[in-house]
Structure 1
Amino acid sequence: MHPRFDFPVRGLPLPRIRHVAAAQPLSWLKAGWQDLRANPLPSLAYGLLFALGGDLIILAALEHPHLISVAISGFFLVAPLLAAGLYELSRSHGEGEKLLFIDSLRCFRRNGQSLAFFGLFLGLTMLFWERVSAVAFALIAIDTPAMASAYLSDILLNGEHLAFTLTWLLAGGLLALFVFAISVVAVPMMLDHDTDAVTAATTSLRAFSQNLPALLLWAGLIVGLTLFGFATLLFGLVIIMPILGHASWHAYRDLVE
């Protein structure tokens, strides 16, 4: 039996959480694809922005190869907030409306204070992980190769620093899982209701704890599809990120009453 977190935040009762089937994330992906087809131009515009963000990550990593893994993990950390416009497109489509790209950007002005606070938390989390990783890699690295691939091969793949590699990957994975748990429905909820960031994050944590099989699968799909997008020289992100963004809205609608 999963733990429950049915306590009030700021004196208000938290919304009820629905239980979904373990395979429900596949339905979310299907719904995300349908939303992409219904809003092709604005959705692909967001996908292009994500791909350009990935380009910036790669360019930064070429200059500073020790940042490549941190930059990619940071991409996962801030993506839920950056996808707010995609949530707005899905919300409007569900209500029978069709928005232009510029119209979807107005969602950031709705409940902007809560979104900004949550974004600040995500940014500080990314900065914390970057500093921890920089110090950790500096302690074991003697010479820093000019190319990111050579650096990662020397540090992570030659077996000399196996204990460090496993510890670092475990710590990063746990941090990413925690951020996923408090954000999986948080941003859509803040857009759908005038909800503060603490209530949204608490609701997200409850949804995660009460739907572990489905949301662990959902986390794995997000990571796997995003990494596939990077592997396609970022071209895949143009389509993958809009689908994931739209699907995340449907995840919220299924999980939160």
Structure 2
Amino acid sequence: MTAFHVMAGPGEALAHPGVRKIAVSDVFDALRLGFDDFRTKPSHYVFLCLIYPIAGVVLATWSSGVNMLPILYPLASGFALLGPVAAIGLYEISRRRERGLDTAWRHAFDVRHSPALPAILAVAAMLLILFVAWLVVAQALYVRFLGEVPPASLAAFMNGIVGTEAGFNLILVGNAVGFVFAAIVLATVVVSFPLLLDRDVGAVSAVETSIRATLANPVPIAVWGLIVAAGLVLGSIPVFVGLAVVMPILGHATWHLYRKLIEPEKPV
């Protein structure tokens, strides 16, 4: 029976997987490979990722009341912070395709049998905490610039945001703070989940390796972050429906980016 471990792998020493330096061209190649994975059996992957447009519509509907209007944008943008968690099944499909194994959609749920599941849940919990922290900070910023009184209507809310100096300052500061949260998530999980699926190294090693990969490749990782952000924006415009295509492509591409960034495990 596999021992229950979270912060480190089954061994006593903390693993330090090797990190490669890559070029921007490698990022676009990973994106191409991700699209190739998606194109192989797109119906399976769209089915798996329907949770994104469904959850997006639910968030928009839940926040449609006047009192919840100030939190709508932080919810929609912050939802992307949890994207790497929902894409775990896509990493597994790409991993299986790479090894020539069966890629039927049911295998996306094989992560529940992974010995690294506790560590995966630990990193997912970290992202959830960051998501909640972002919502708290975003609400505090709204109160700081526009006050505690909720807008009387959608028109009043929009006028306060785009028609006043305080609203303009809120947009600038809010997006700057949101960028910091997004950068933290990108640096800590760009390879964390794929690494844990590939090797049971523990949550600490996975996050530490992801940060080292980011520091060693700041420009390629920044380009990858811009690609992800642009994809999420484009996918969200048609009532989040486009995310059913954007998310699986980005999910598969993340696996291939991991392969380019992290050196393969040395045989024992």
Relative to the length of structure 2, the TM-score reads 0.86
Matched, 1:234 2:236: no
Q: Which stretch shows the higher mean deviation, 81-90 or 14-23?
A: 14-23
State the identity %. Answer: 26
Cα RMSD (Å) of the superposition? 1.9
Following TM superposition, the consecutive aligned residue runs of length 4 or more in structure 1 with deviations greater than 6 angstroms are none
CA offsets 1:142-192 (integer angstroms, 9 cap, x no match) = 441443x762x3343224213333222211111110111001000111111
- 1:38 is displaced (CA, Å) by 1.8
Partner Cα separation in structure 1 for residue 211 and residue 12 of structure 2: 17
Q: Which runs of 5+ in 2 are unaligned?
A: 1-10, 264-268
Q: Mapping of 1:1-257 within 5 angstroms? A: 11-63=13-65, 64-110=68-114, 111-139=116-144, 140-141=146-147, 142-147=149-154, 151=157, 153-161=158-166, 162-257=168-263
On the 8 A contact 1:156/1:165 being kept in 2, the answer is: yes
C-alpha distance in 1 between matches for 2:128 and 2:172? 25
Check the 8 A contact 1:189/1:200 in 2, yes or no: yes
Q: Is the 8 A contact 2:92 2:107 kept in 1?
A: no
Note closer, same or farther for the CA distance 1:150–1:230 as it changes in structure 2 (3 Å cut): farther
Q: Which runs of 5+ in 1 are unaligned?
A: 1-8
Q: Deviations over 1:179-220 (max 9, x none)?
A: 110010001111111121111011000111111111101000
- Equivalents in 2 of 1:158, 1:208: separation in Å? 39
Opposite residue 58 of structure 2, the aligned amino acid is L
CA distance in 2, matches of 1:51, 1:98: 27
Deviation readout 1:60-101 (Å, 9 max, x if unpaired): 231321122221232211100110000000000001112322
- TM-score, normalised by the number of residues in structure 1: 0.89
Quick one: distance in 1 between partners of 2:131 and 2:26?
29
Distance 1:146 1:114, change over 3 A: farther
Q: Is the alpha carbon distance of 1:167 and 1:190 closer, same or farther for their aligned partners in structure 2, counting shifts above 3 Å?
A: same
Structure 1 residues 228, 150: closer, same or farther in 2, change over 3 A?
farther
Alignment partners' CA distance in 1, 2:251 and 2:195 = 14
Cα distance in structure 1, aligned partners of 2:181 and 2:232: 18
Aligned-partner residue type, residue 132 of structure 1: V
